[in-house]
Structure 1
Amino acid sequence: MVTGLAVAPEFIDELVDRFLHRIVRADRARPTGLNASEGWDSVTRDGATQDDLTGDAVTGDGESDAVVGADFADQVFSGERWIGRRFVDCRFTDADLRGLVTERCEFTECDFSRADLGESVHRGSALRACVFTRSTLTGASLVACSLLGSQFTDCRLRPITITDTDLTLTSLGGADLRETDLAGLRMREANLVGADLRGSSLRGADLSGARLSGARLEGADLRGTDLAGLRMREANLVGADLRGSSLRGANLSGARLSGARLEGADLRDAVLEPTGLTTARLAGARVDVAIAVGFARAHGLLVDLTGAD
């Protein structure tokens, strides 16, 4: 037996840190609930501490209250409840977040790729500039949240409940949002190119600057919506309800408008093929001379513009 061997304290601390780090990495089945601390050491993954993940709500406004750069990949947080937590540049890739409840939490530039957020509930939380690639959000609910600048790619979203939530600058290109209620939401400059919005409600949504080229909007409810100046090239609006909406100056070139309800809509200065309006319902719609003439010619009328101002 060897005695009297002197070992530097720094070396012992390093060994302990490495050992605990490996234990935490390997232990994916953590205790249930945010307040459960049995079996947990104070050392956690990649700079995060136990206090960042357990205990009561985080209070205070300082940057030190946030978990920054932590790696929670493959971790299990299913069914937990987080209140007032802040995460910056953290990885939740492949994490199990099913049934997670967040209230007044902030996630900034976090990666949720392939994470399971099914049946999760978020109230007053912000997920800003976050990445969701092939993530699952089926059955999720977002109430009074912000998704400012977040990007959704190849995600499973239906069914999803989104209420009083800010989708400004959110990228939902190609997203499947069929029959989703998006009425009244703030969606300024959102990317909805190629999105499937068939049967969805966008009534009264703020779509200023949004991109809707190639979007599928068959049977969508767009009543009273301001679509002025939007890019809607090749959009499919067959059977869409656009009554009382403003399409003034919108680019509808190549858009399909068969059976669309355009009663009382404002089509002045819109870029469109007048022949596409032949089967649309247009009672009370406002059009400019160019559209009126094109529409008349599409119906076989010979328009005489001689002497017109």
Structure 2
Amino acid sequence: MNSTICIEQKFSLNELTGNTISECRFINCDFSHADLTDTVFKNCHFYDDESQTGCDFTHSVLKEARFIGCDLSLCNFRYADAFGIEIRECRAQGADFRSASFMNKITERVWFCSAFIIKSNLSYTNFSKAVLEKCELWENRWTAENVLGASFIGSDLSGGEFNEFDWRSANFTFCDLTGAALGNLTIRDTELDGVKLDMNQAGQLLMDLGIILQG
């Protein structure tokens, strides 16, 4: 499927599974419950400027799905199975990932996560209570993100831009934050156990405590 405009279309369960779709515009389309495993979307638009709405991906299967250079603003991904999803160089402003799953459960107590969300604008996106542990999440814009109760343990958040961001609301232990613009992150009220920082970042955090490093 290439260079197509789809308006208020409901996609059936396996209609797009494994396909590569380029330069398409989806206006108020319904992907809910669709199996989009291994589906690739390149330079597609899922946000409609006129109605200011995104598309519906609730309960969809997005295992190993790839969104490259797409506009996913205000799209609804609630309850989606997003293990192994790739979102690269996209706009996802205001998208809703609450209750989306990025994990593969082996047992109730044994599981692992996989997601590649890279070089994307995630401003105002909702990742409340999301579990994105040991995932590739680098060079994203995280302005005013809702991450209340989320877990990013061990993930690569390097090179990110964090503005109006509440570091206290989620777990960032053992994350790689090197090269990131950390905004209002402070040592006083944020758990930084195992976090990777570069020397400039560490120096700034210590200066906030009144400690000055000598070279």
Aligned counterpart for 1:137 among listed residues 45, 57, 62 = 62
- Ranges in structure 1 where 5+ consecutive residues have no aligned partner: 1-81, 267-282, 294-309
Quote the sequence identity (%): 24
Change (3 A) 1:256 1:107: same
Q: 8 Å contact 1:198–1:217 — kept in the other structure? A: yes
RMSD after superposition: 2.5
Q: Which has the higher contact order (CA 8 A, sep 6+)?
A: 2
Between structures 1 and 2, the one with greater strand share: 2
Out of 196-205 and 93-102, give the one that drifted further: 93-102
For residues 196 and 86 of structure 2, the distance between their equivalents in structure 1, rounded to whole angstroms, comes to 26
**What residue in structure 1 maps to residue 50 of structure 2?**
none
**What residue in structure 1 maps to residue 149 of structure 2?**
214
For residues 16 and 210 of structure 2, the distance between their equivalents in structure 1, rounded to whole angstroms, comes to 55
The answer to whether structure 1 residue 284 and structure 2 residue 203 are counterparts is: yes
| 1:1-309 correspondence runs (5 A) | 82-92=1-11, 94=13, 96-128=15-47, 129-177=54-102, 178-250=113-185, 256-264=191-199, 266=201, 283-287=202-206, 289=208, 291=209
Q: 8 Å contact 1:194–1:212 — kept in the other structure? A: yes
The Cα of 1:243 is off from its aligned counterpart by 2.5
For residues 97 and 192 of structure 1, the distance between their equivalents in structure 2, rounded to whole angstroms, comes to 26
Change (3 A) 1:265 1:136: farther
SS of equivalent to 1:122: strand
The Cα of 1:101 is off from its aligned counterpart by 2.5
The Cα of 1:253 is off from its aligned counterpart by 9.1
**What residue in structure 1 maps to residue 110 of structure 2?**
none
Larger Rg: 1
Change (3 A) 1:205 1:252: farther
SS of equivalent to 1:240: coil
Deviations 1:266-296 (A, max 9, x none): 5xxxxxxxxxxxxxxxx4343455x459xxx
Between structures 1 and 2, the one with greater helix share: 1
**What residue in structure 2 maps to residue 34 of structure 1?**
none
The Cα of 1:205 is off from its aligned counterpart by 0.8
Change (3 A) 1:219 1:102: same
Deviations 1:230-261 (A, max 9, x none): 02333111111122433332599975432222
Q: 8 Å contact 2:80–2:99 — kept in the other structure? A: no
For residues 205 and 189 of structure 2, the distance between their equivalents in structure 1, rounded to whole angstroms, comes to 20
- Ranges in structure 2 where 5+ consecutive residues have no aligned partner: 48-53, 103-112
For residues 123 and 189 of structure 1, the distance between their equivalents in structure 2, rounded to whole angstroms, comes to 23
For residues 187 and 76 of structure 2, the distance between their equivalents in structure 1, rounded to whole angstroms, comes to 26
SS of equivalent to 1:83: coil
Q: 8 Å contact 1:97–1:117 — kept in the other structure? A: yes
**What residue in structure 1 maps to residue 109 of structure 2?**
none
